[in-house]
Amino acid sequence: MKLRKIVPLTAAASLAAGLSLFGVAGPASADVGPAQPVTFSVASGALSLSQTAAPAITLVEGTAVALPVTSVVDGRNDTARSGAWTVTADVTDLVAGAATIPADDIAIAASSGGFDSGTGTVGTPPADVLVSVTADSIDSAYSFTPTATLATQSHPFSGTYEGTITQTVV
Q: Tens of pLDDT along 57-116?
A: 888 899 999 999 999 998 887 666 677 889 999 999 999 998 999 999 999 998 789 999
- C-alpha dist (Å) from residue 140 to 1, 146, 163: 70, 19, 31
92: Cβ–Cβ under 8 A, 6 or more apart, which residues?
103, 163, 164, 165
Q: From CA 85, how far away is CA 45, in angstroms rounded?
A: 14
Mean of pLDDT values over 6-13: 43
Give pLDDT tens digits for 105-151: 999 998 789 999 988 888 888 777 899 888 777 788 999 999 999 99
Torsion angle, alpha carbons of 116, 145, 113, 85, to 10:
80
Burial 110-143 (b: 16+ CB within 10 A, else e): beebeeeebebebeebeeeebbbbbeebbebbbb
CA-based nearest residue to 127, from 144, 110, 143: 110
Q: What is the pLDDT of residue 41?
A: 64
DSSP class of residue 156 equals -
Q: What is the DSSP string of 43-59?
A: ----EEEEE----PPPP
Q: What is the pLDDT of residue 33?
A: 72
> What domains sit in the chain, N to C, each tagged with a CATH number?
47-169 (2.60.40)
Q: From CA 110, how far away is CA 148, in angstroms rounded?
A: 9
* pTM (two decimals): 0.69
